[in-house]
Amino acid sequence: MINQPQPRTSTDDRVIGDVIMQMKDITLRFGGVVAISSISFDIREGEIRAIIGPNGAGKSSMLNVISGFYRPQEGEIWFRGRKRPAMKPYQVARQGIARTFQNIALFEGMSVLDNVMTGRLNHMNPNVFLQAIWKGKAEREEVENRERAERIIDFLEIQHIRKTPVSRLPYGLKKRVELARALVSEPSLLLLDEPMAGMNVEEKEDMSRFILDVNDEFGTTIALIEHDMGVVMDLSDRVVVMDYGKKIGDGIPDEVRSNQDVIDAYLGVSHD
């Protein structure tokens, strides 16, 4: 059977573990433009780590570096104590890193259930011939993974739409389906790219609750990018602040909030 993190019983025993991912001096250039310049930070197991910064600070580029879309020119990525070689995005996914997108990237032609089931791909090992006759391992695997998928569907409260084509869903639900698709792969690191972009207050509250629950019940490590400062400060354990591709702050929310550089970056500073 597949190893599933057991839900924890109490909310108080959240353990922040060792460093699971470490970025060392990452530099990413597009031609002459330096998107990220020599940034280092780490993500600890079980924490919610936020990356914030004004527009164009390089937050999304950072996430794309982690998930293998961009290959940084300099720097090293260490994952689970090992230096990660250059990888294709699907290989990164197989290491247990899942993500959602700023602009929803669901499979519009498929139902919610199929979308979520696609997230189980890394746990399935299809055999073409058994699939063709739909017997034995193929059928068993389908049912086992369906059970996992249904557990996440229950968890995120999208049971009522499981057979609905994704293209018919409203924005807020799509975001939730995308979270389900990422979550169902039982990632050891979950990357959320602006999970609350474009949502109203209620939807934001729902989403915050789900993020906390995910972290709490499954112990999933989460790294997220978000613009809403209130949300970030409430949710996250530690915050990295970026501006113009540089790291200008790193620490617990209270530290970051009182950091002069961060205040300058967000509120602007007079140049006289």
Partner 1 sequence: MFYREAGDFKISYVADNQTFPIAFDRYRYYAILVVGFLVLPFWVDDYLVNAILAPFFIYAIAAIGLNILTGYCGQVSLGTGGFMAVGAYSCYKLMTGFPDVSIVLHIILAGGITAVVGTVFGLPSLRIKGFYLAVATLAAQFFLVWLFNRVSWFYNYSASGQINAPERTVFNVPVTGPNVEPWAMYLICLFFAFFSAVIARNLTRGTLGRTWMAIRDMDIAAEIIGVNPLRAKLTAFAISSFFVGISGALFFAVYLGAAEAGDSFGIQKSFIVLFMIIIGGLGSIFGSFAGAALLVVLPVFLKLIGVDLFGWPTDLVAHIQLVIVGLLIILFLVLEPHGLAQLWRIAKEKLRLWPFPH
SS3 for 212? helix
For partner 1, the binding residues in 22-81 under the rule CB under 8 A are: 67, 69
Task: Pick between residue 65 and residue 231 the one whose CB is nearest to partner 1.
Answer: 65
Residue nearer to partner 1 on the CB measure, 1 or 132: 132
Give every CB contact of residue 111 below 8 A, 6+ residues apart in sequence: 162, 163, 164, 165, 166
Q: Looking at 36, 39, 141, 196, which residue binds partner 1 (CB under 8 A)?
A: 141
Task: Report the first-to-last Cα separation within the chain, whole angstroms.
Answer: 65
Q: Over the range 209-231, which residues count as b (16 or more CB within 10 Å of their CB) and which as e?
A: ebbbebbbebbbbbbbbbebeeb
The answer for residues whose C-beta is within 8 angstroms of residue 34's C-beta and 6 or more apart is 27, 28, 245
Binding-site size for partner 1 (CB under 8 A) equals 40
Per-residue binding string, partner 1, 149-188, x by CB under 8 A, is: -x------------------------------x---x---
Q: How far is the CB of 270 from partner 1 (least distance, A)?
A: 42
Alpha-carbon distance 159 to 23, whole Å? 38
Write down the least CB distance from residue 15 to partner 1, Å. 28
CB of 253 to partner 1, least distance (A): 29
Count of Cβ atoms closer than 10 Å to residue 118 Cβ:
16
Query: What is the spatial distance between Cα 257 and Cα 251, in angstroms, rounded to a whole number?
Result: 9
Site for partner 1 in 74-133 (CB under 8 A): 88-90, 92-94, 98-99, 101, 105-110, 114, 117-119, 121-122, 124, 126, 128, 131-133
CB atoms < 10 A from the CB of 11, how many?
10
List of residues contacting partner 1 (CB under 8 A): 67, 69, 88-90, 92-94, 98-99, 101, 105-110, 114, 117-119, 121-122, 124, 126, 128, 131-134, 138-139, 141-143, 146-147, 150, 181, 185
